[in-house]
Amino acid sequence: MARIGSSKKYQVARRLRELGSGLLHNSRDHIVRRQILKELANRVGETVNYVIPEDEGMRYLDRVETDWAFRIQLPIGTNVPFHCTASGKCFLASLPTRQQESLVENLNLKAMTKQTHVSADTLLEELADIRRQKYSLDSEEFLDGMIALAVPVTDANGRFIASIAMHGPTQRLSQDLLVSQVDLIQNAASRLSKVLFSE
């Protein structure tokens, strides 16, 4: 365990989280997760990712690549920002209001593209929409020419643990096409939640 600053609160230390991730990676759950992601990737025809929150942003823990020759590669282990990615905004939207506001106010809202949120107010407005619609979009906010959609994977109590995200180039994908796949992605997230948290 590691102490959070000078407060009396503790969190699981990075080494223990990495050990836990390693155990999960080599377990039956990892195999089933991989199969769910592969099936989803085959159905949507694009790259799908399993992404978890960490101190420095969202980390790609698993992914299944599209068969298209033209694709955007973000390797397993890559960390991406919270404020300008579909998976990051999906995580932020899941937080209780006060915690969400505090985190957003303290994020470095660096402009990655012309579409990136650089204002806490506009980001918070979008997070409210994401909470209602139960999915998030990245409309070329992280990389020019890339769009993405993410949905949450939750535990038995409905708490966010990860997101499943689908992404691809704007030459092949549109927001409408992404949104048309929401049911498939949410179904995969629901199946994964049952695998990870069933008795």
Encode pLDDT of 116-164 as tens digits: 999 999 999 999 999 999 999 999 999 999 999 999 999 988 999 999 9
- Supply the mean pLDDT for the chain: 86
Encode pLDDT of 172-198 as tens digits: 889 999 999 999 999 999 999 988 877
For 43-63, letters b (16+ CB in 10 Å) and e give ebebbbbbbbbeeebbbbbbb
Q: What tokens does 67 get?
A: 């068969």
| Predicted model pTM | 0.81
Place of tokens 């012309």: 114
d(CA 93, CA 80) in angstroms, rounded, equals 16
